[in-house]
Structure 1
């Protein structure tokens, strides 16, 4: 069995006093089809922008195929 494709550990994003994503621990196994769902304003787009490098992470980390990609820019992540 292989490890997860994507993991977040304590992923947090704050905009001033507003915490948009709050200490999210997430594991995405390989294979299958997965979705992130929730109501408007729940932080889905912010979460995606954090894992894809479009927004800087306030706290926590993002791991892709075992490699820490926290702080990498989108063009660097796209080459992985």
Structure 2
């Protein structure tokens, strides 16, 4: 076995490493663009639905009323400061 085979193996390993790194970067880019775009769309839809609910409540004249008490009779919990 001569030194040339060892250099070929090192070059093959380096090429494969570069290929895998490039592939992972592409996958991360794909994930970021598609998943975050989906999340953003979902959050926008939730905001639109929340606004529609608030608009309907205002039309019905229930704007600013607290939600009905739970059936268990528990007092509403206040957020911790």
Pairwise same-fold verdict (TM > 0.5): no
Larger strand proportion of the pair: 1
**Normalized against structure 2, the TM-score is what?**
0.21
**Which structure dedicates a bigger proportion of its chain to helix?**
2
TM-score, length-normalised on structure 1?
0.22
Greater length-normalized contact order (CA 8 Å, ≥ 6 residues apart): 1
The structure number with the bigger radius of gyration is 2
